[in-house]
Structure 1
């Protein structure tokens, strides 16, 4: 009797092993003041981006307590109703370590408010979603963060330690391998050689795992910094000092995503509205104009003076006319200074 031929089973590919999660939790942090208005723009852009329902928007608000006196959450009822209609889920988080003295710490403590064991993406509130997040090939086992940054930290002092000594002291403090974090295509003692991110976005497979380590590292650096940091300021840079260490500890790095998607064609971290008009692509400005055009949206957003002036009364167009997007100043501060000199700076 002839034997039946058997065919070898195809080997599982890396793509097959890395299944697309059923849902992903997208988080921004908002509270009374400027952040609540930025949250409105984020939610409006997110809703119109074509992003599928498996991406769920959470707006995290600090709870009233010792670190945040008063009512720090969004108090504008019209705004809150609009955000709810746009599909946002509100969650609150306790601030045990940071607060008004270091509001950048909100992003660290807020991670505990998200469901444990579910993949997440954190975005700074001053971000617009330009296209579907589904187009980004996230691997939630390999975290990364925004590479749209300048060499803001550390600031080297004459006769003080250099980049290598400063960064290596931090990796050594937490038992991490320093050499594998380096970009060897960049020259020694040039800031781009060292793993450094803007904290405008980051992601991982579990917000609690990520948040615990982020908090552990940030507090350890704040309370007991290596002696190589004696001349360095950690305000406001603490989160961006700890973040690359956290990402490296979880096996992530600078090359975890293709270039040009986040901080590119899919999202834009504009930082403040005057900078958006000054330097961002037409697609970003067109998205902003489109999401803020409906009358019922305009009625709410005009209550915030920077939006009223910049978006609806044409001041943003005046700022845009001041700059050539193909020949922008190399440093962001130079752009800011020119806008301020013209009397158009608002935030």
Structure 2
């Protein structure tokens, strides 16, 4: 057990409805880690919202939470903005921290560490640069009479460099009453319709927060471990003290949060009874699948490789295993890779799919009659279905060729197994010529991720792309592109389970055994040798064969290939 340290008060909002449940969960998690904490529940006094039940008040009393009523300044027009007043309910000269109710405490790290002696306030930068051009921020600071002082912060999820803009889910200050008055006044000032700020809702409280924090003295800019956005990132195993989960589905998909919820329900029956009254919380009490979800990342893998090298065939093979699911080219891959500078979006995608399946929802995939499509050139349909699962600890993979190939430097950092496929270049290039236009013509500028401007390309890859785009002959571009992709696989060989398509056709069980071992996945193997269309040697185009021989001998030799 830890301590919150001297004179640090904690306040959060509790009101009738879901905020009562969230507030109780937060209070219970804080009390477990910080038994000496001074906890305060701010209860809005607004008749249309109803009264807290005697059961909730009793639970707060059991947890040692003092209740404080207040008049919500922006109810009901802007309910989330009412938080600006609650710090003012606390003792004036005692340091305090406001927490959003939809948070859980995961460690005993003292909250007094939020405010080292030399700092007057603390907050975490916003997850995303959701509001404001530099010109609009200048208007905000000018209207409030605050100097920007040349400071910049970086959004914790998108990585954008921006003028000071903070998440209002955690705000720590030395003088809570003075700060609350300033925050509320600034928020009211910025509601002025004559002030050219564009759309300011639902971010108004956060827009006002930044200049208020900047004006009161030295500011501690926190890392995301103090206000972790689990709705936008998968929860890591270490380093998160306070988790901002936002919705019960995040608790469902994150084992550590699920464990907190289960223990809270056992310790405080009022929490379980409240959860049963909200449909979106019921899956936590009645999961669609048996067992508890396993630890994050231990059951995830990726499939990539050179296009038309059997990646969909392998996706179907693995998806057919008991309690395995493989997403064949999920749409969300592109936005998750382009909107972030790392691979955390792919981790989030996997967590969101797990959440849906644990709720019993259908998911979208390239499937036909429940089986993953093994040739997307022949059949590229998407449909909704629910895979046959009987365990919450199912294996989940996702497959993409070019997008994942381009993002390999970041994907490798996830520590997940990555199955990568290569195929003899002659049938590969022939398939490119007869399938997709972007492969036939090598029109990389049409691709959402692996385009010439994609930030994940290495320097040598950019030079290769520049070289092939300057080539006028399509068959030469195809050869140059295959060479670049082959070199990419060889460059990352140490972090891949690299397979030749021909070897998988010959012995698919060997690949299954290797992947099962890397995922520590017990169980029997299921595989079949399906008939795959092959092309006879006399059908190779002489022009491509010659260019392959001229330009790709080294790469072919590395994979054990020779020209037909």
Q: Fold conserved (TM > 0.5)?
A: yes
Q: How far apart are the structure 2 equivalents of 1:118 and 1:225?
A: 37
TM-score between the two structures when normalised by the length of structure 1 = 0.74
Q: Secondary structure at the match of 2:212?
A: helix
2:131 to 153, 164, 182: 153
Matched, 1:206 2:206: no
C-alpha RMSD over aligned residues: 3.5
Query: CA 1:117–1:298 in 2, change beyond 3 Å: closer, same or farther?
Result: closer
Q: How far apart are the structure 2 equivalents of 1:52 and 1:112?
A: 24
Paired positions, count = 299
Specify the alignment match of 1:242 in structure 2: 208
- 1:224 offset after TM fit, Å? 5.2
Residue ranges of structure 1 left out of the alignment (5+ in a row): 1-19, 155-162
Q: Secondary structure at the match of 2:210?
A: helix
Higher relative contact order (CA 8 A, sep 6+): 1
Whether the aligned pair in 2 keeps the contact of 1:62 and 1:94 (CA below 8 Å) is yes
Matched, 1:60 2:42: yes
2:25 to 33, 41, 46: 41
Q: Secondary structure at the match of 1:198?
A: strand
- 1:308 offset after TM fit, Å? 5.3
- 1:27 offset after TM fit, Å? 0.3
Q: How far apart are the structure 2 equivalents of 1:244 and 1:223?
A: 18
Matched, 1:171 2:128: no
Specify the alignment match of 1:115 in structure 2: 91
Matched, 1:296 2:269: yes
Q: Which has the larger radius of gyration?
A: 2
CA offsets, 1:157-213, max 9 Å, x none? xxxxxx221111211222222243224x89xxx953221121111010122111111
CA offsets, 1:14-65, max 9 Å, x none? xxxxxx963221000111111011111111111211x141x300000112xx
Whether the aligned pair in 2 keeps the contact of 1:199 and 1:239 (CA below 8 Å) is yes
Q: How far apart are the structure 2 equivalents of 1:226 and 1:330?
A: 40
Whether the aligned pair in 1 keeps the contact of 2:125 and 2:221 (CA below 8 Å) is no
TM-score between the two structures when normalised by the length of structure 2 = 0.47
Q: Secondary structure at the match of 2:261?
A: helix
Specify the alignment match of 1:89 in structure 2: 66
Q: How far apart are the structure 2 equivalents of 1:235 and 1:336?
A: 27
Report matched runs for 1:227-306 at 5 Å.
Answer: 227=196, 229=197, 232-253=198-219, 255-257=220-222, 260-263=225-228, 264-278=239-253, 280=254, 282-294=255-267, 296-297=269-270, 300-306=273-279
- 1:332 offset after TM fit, Å? 7.9
Residue ranges of structure 2 left out of the alignment (5+ in a row): 229-238, 301-342, 363-564
Query: CA 1:324–1:206 in 2, change beyond 3 Å: closer, same or farther?
Result: same
Q: How far apart are the structure 1 equivalents of 2:152 and 2:70?
A: 35
Q: How far apart are the structure 2 equivalents of 1:225 and 1:25?
A: 38
CA offsets, 1:36-95, max 9 Å, x none? 11111111111211x141x300000112xxxx3345442x22222111101010000123
